[in-house]
Structure 1
Amino acid sequence: MKPISILFLAIALLTIGSVSYGGRLSALLKNQNSYSYLDHYWQKQDVQLDVEFNTALTHGDLTVIGRVLVDGSDDLNHASSPDTYSRWQGGRYASQHAMAELRELYWTFGDATFWKIGKQQVVWGEADGLKLLDVVNPQSYREFILDDVEDSRIPLWMVKAEVSVFEDSQLQLLWIPDSTTHDLAPQSSPFAFTSPLLVPVPSGNSKVDLRSSGAPNRLFLDSDVGGRLSTFTNGWDVTFNYLYHYVDEPVFRTGLSSAGVVTEGEYERSHLLGGSASSVFGNWTVRTELAYEKDRYHRTKQAFPGVVQADQFGSVIGFDYQGWTDQLISFQWFQTTILDNTDQLQKERTEDTVSLLWDISFMNETLKLRFLNLYSVDHGDGLLRPKLTYNLLSNLDVILSLDKFYGDSDGVYGQFDENDRVSIGFELGLD
């Protein structure tokens, strides 16, 4: 069935449901046209429609969200739904010009214990932009990290329970049988990874044959489980987090075969233990995260197998200032440290990244300017992202933005130095 046909069918069914059962129907229409001004072509010309239906259901509430995306360009898209999506994501349609999926479907109910069952997103941590604790849901790297976080995060089928355990404290428990992993850009995409920090890089004229084992698919043995204890103490919002999970990026091990260099991508387990804290001091907000990850894999300079196992510790501290009228300035410092097996690493044992965000509002907040800079201290590469948003109508925003990468091509950001682009589009809310 064509994606447009799926869209009209979904809208018809949700409209009938909203009329029959007294539910609420809403939609968000987005358009973005991105032009690569270095290579002189339209990198992206897409229209995305999210349709949401909410209704009461058996002492609780039901939410259904469907998404259809149509792209006039084909540079960023897979020819079909990749095998990184588990069997739980059945019914997802994807081609080089279109995508249709059931984005979210969950039932919420309960008082003493609040339950949320179904396909959903779970957000952990206090960091913006880069992730330490926010790893419950995988991410689409169709546009690297340029897409909105809410749009790039991949919802998973799971059971979430939240219960009050002490005064001002809440325990969240997760069971996640959906083993979908990161959706990496196809090899033909301008956002396919090429940095030796992330993927094996061929030497000389050798050819690398990339192979993936696909998402793990055993119901119980491959499930992720985790929990978060949230509390408020002495003016601080504090969490303690634990997640036993498959790391969502594949571990690429290299070997030799008759076809040349073969790279097998497999998924490995890790224990994540960490926490977050935030508090307000006048015009300042202080945020921090800590994350210890066991049995992570890191790329090495040795060709075979090209990876080494080592535990990793990460931290972030952020400062937000809102003392100036209609402005927000935010600074963050991210640091990751590999704790052992540090010989022959492609990256530094300790890596630092800093971010600067500046939001300014004009004309009674109808015109907003955002400036974001991400900078890798160790590799000297980064990403500049100025963005201008004009609220033309109460439900219509017009958006103009620039994405500019800079630095060495071996860096995480510099690998996309030729992919700078300017974008124009809109967001229209429909109720």
Structure 2
Amino acid sequence: MKPTLDGAFVWLLFCPALWIPGGGIAATGSDEAGADEEIAIEEGIAIDGEENETEIQIDGDMQESLEPEGLTIEDGGEAPVGEEVADRDEQEQRSLRIGLDEAWLEYGQQLRTDSAADRTFYGKLAASIQWYPDANWEVRLAARIDGYDEDAGTGWSELKADYGDSFVRYRNAHLRLTIGADTVIWGRMDEIPLSDRVSVADLTRFILDNVEDRRRSAPMVRLETDLGEGRLDIVWLADFRGAELPDQQSIWYPIDKRRGRIIGIDPADIPPAAVQAANIVEDEPDGDGGFGVRFTASPDFGDVGLTVAHTRQSVPYYRSLGASFKTEYPRSWTYGVDAAVDAMGATWRGELVFDSDVPATRSDLSYTTTESVAWGMGVELHPGDGDTRVNLQLMGSNRLDAPSILERTDIYNINGEVEVPFDRERWRASLDFYLGLDAKDVYINPEISFLGWEPHELYLALHYFDGDAETLGGFHKEHGSLNLGWRAKF
């Protein structure tokens, strides 16, 4: 479903959400029941073939979970399935909930005159129905509408409807079985979880949003069960779903035909004229997306995780086929290990992942795959035991025994976030950053948010890109913006 409207109608559609005072209605199973109520730089977007997304704190740092219903963010320190069921029984006394989950409006002003767009609009509405027939069963249906509008050169204006986390779930004291569409993000590193192999990327806004907002629901069968002192998570992607892509005219599309550029490729290697004249063929394969298994535990020294997966990457790779570029979604074996330890007043993280088949283009423009290792280490601390949070990470990606290819074979960067709440946590100032070490590759995102009008949030954010031609920051050098937005989660 892809109805197209001009920018005024896209904006008008979402305006009524400004007046919605609450998130929905709840019906109880009895009269006495209560009504209480869940840089990232995309390394290899379309080219490198590695979904090194960034997102919130992903895995096991023994912090309280704040995830929305349906979305699963890995946390090695979470309670066993049986304890979770008991908590749910105490908190979820209603049997039916129908309501609005999220509303979001954002205006973006492009800062450079050479950008293909002068300004952008974005809007989102998400709603769901949740039904709890009894303590062991849950049924959820969710949907979302996203509106996009870019003026000037791109002229992209579109409304897109999509399903959200929609499933039937059974749980008891020892396991949880989910059948339907769900969102699962595995990994340890903050905002760039390297073991993330069963989620579907949302590339419609590149890396402007946090990791949980850069994911879409995927059809799957999922089994979670306690195993010894740990937890086993098994996912089968029953029907492959590729990443959600922006329109080919959008400034965020991985191939810029206006300039004749492909993200991650030096324009000196593929002439701009060849890219401008080429056809872009988006073709998702049929069949399942593969499977993944993850084991997490919390021994005395900290949290650990082990991941094995054989999946198709959701982010497409654009294969050169003469006068066209065709999307490829290769299958790859992934083996990962990660850990988090609390020591010296900080949380220390590490993650190491091996991939067997990462796509690449040889210097003669033929297609191939290579083995690759991605790694990361980081520290998160609260200086002076205050509310300020500082997260710093050193990360890298290295292709093993790679032939002569157009992609960068070794990528190193530092990235992180500084977050400072103030005025009794009514305001929050933050800075996200990504800085390349082997090449100039820059993303800087300062933001100021007003949180004193719960559940609403008002924010003003700057997005700045810069870098060498073959880097992600260099590709989007023209697309820096100043964004003003409002969002609410109910």
- What interval of TM-score do these two structures reach, taking the shorter chain for normalisation? 0.7 to 0.9
CA contact (8 A) 1:18 1:55 kept: no
Give 1:335 deviation, angstroms: 0.9
Unaligned runs of 5+ in 2: 5-9, 30-93, 255-260
Q: Say which of 246, 258, 279 aligns to 1:185.
A: 246
The residue matched to 2:472 in structure 1 has which SS?
coil
Give 1:278 deviation, angstroms: 0.7
**Cα separation, partners in 2 of 1:234 and 1:342, compared to 1, 3 Å:** farther
Alignment pair present for 1:120 and 2:187: no
Instruction: Report matched runs for 1:186-265 at 5 Å.
Output: 186-193=247-254, 194-195=261-262, 197=264, 202-203=270-271, 205-206=273-274, 207-212=276-281, 214-218=283-287, 222-256=288-322, 261-265=323-327
Q: Say which of 122, 136, 156 aligns to 1:46.
A: 122
Q: Say which of 382, 393, 396 aligns to 1:335.
A: 396
Map Cα deviations across residues 231-258 of structure 1 (whole Å, 9 max, x no partner). 12232211110111112233433243xx
Name 1:105's counterpart in structure 2.
Answer: 166
Structure 1 Cα separation of the partners of residues 151 and 165 of structure 2: 25
Q: Say which of 352, 356, 364 aligns to 1:290.
A: 352
C-alpha RMSD of matched pairs (Å):
3.0
Structure 1 Cα separation of the partners of residues 410 and 326 of structure 2: 27
Q: Give the share of equivalent positions with the same residue, in percent.
A: 18
Relative contact order: is structure 1 or structure 2 higher (C-alpha 8 Å, sep ≥ 6)?
2
Unaligned runs of 5+ in 1: 80-95
Give 1:185 deviation, angstroms: 3.1
Name 2:407's counterpart in structure 1.
Answer: 346
Name 2:133's counterpart in structure 1.
Answer: 57
Name 1:93's counterpart in structure 2.
Answer: none
**Cα separation, partners in 2 of 1:340 and 1:66, compared to 1, 3 Å:** same
Q: Say which of 174, 191, 197 aligns to 1:135.
A: 197
Q: Say which of 27, 30, 35 aligns to 2:104.
A: 30
Alignment pair present for 1:158 and 2:220: yes
Range that drifts further, 373-382 or 176-185: 176-185
Structure 1 Cα separation of the partners of residues 132 and 152 of structure 2: 41
Alignment pair present for 1:374 and 2:431: no
Structure 2 Cα separation of the partners of residues 36 and 124 of structure 1: 34
CA contact (8 A) 2:332 2:355 kept: yes
Map Cα deviations across residues 50-101 of structure 1 (whole Å, 9 max, x no partner). 113322035312222221223454689998xxxxxxxxxxxxxxxx321222
Q: Which amino acid aligns with 2:123?
A: V
Give 1:288 deviation, angstroms: 1.2
Structure 2 Cα separation of the partners of residues 398 and 253 of structure 1: 41
What TM-score, normalized to structure 1?
Answer: 0.84
Structure 2 Cα separation of the partners of residues 78 and 185 of structure 1: 13
Structure 2 Cα separation of the partners of residues 361 and 17 of structure 1: 33
**Cα separation, partners in 2 of 1:412 and 1:121, compared to 1, 3 Å:** same
Structure 1 Cα separation of the partners of residues 281 and 202 of structure 2: 16
Name 2:368's counterpart in structure 1.
Answer: 308
Give 1:19 deviation, angstroms: 7.9
Name 2:59's counterpart in structure 1.
Answer: none
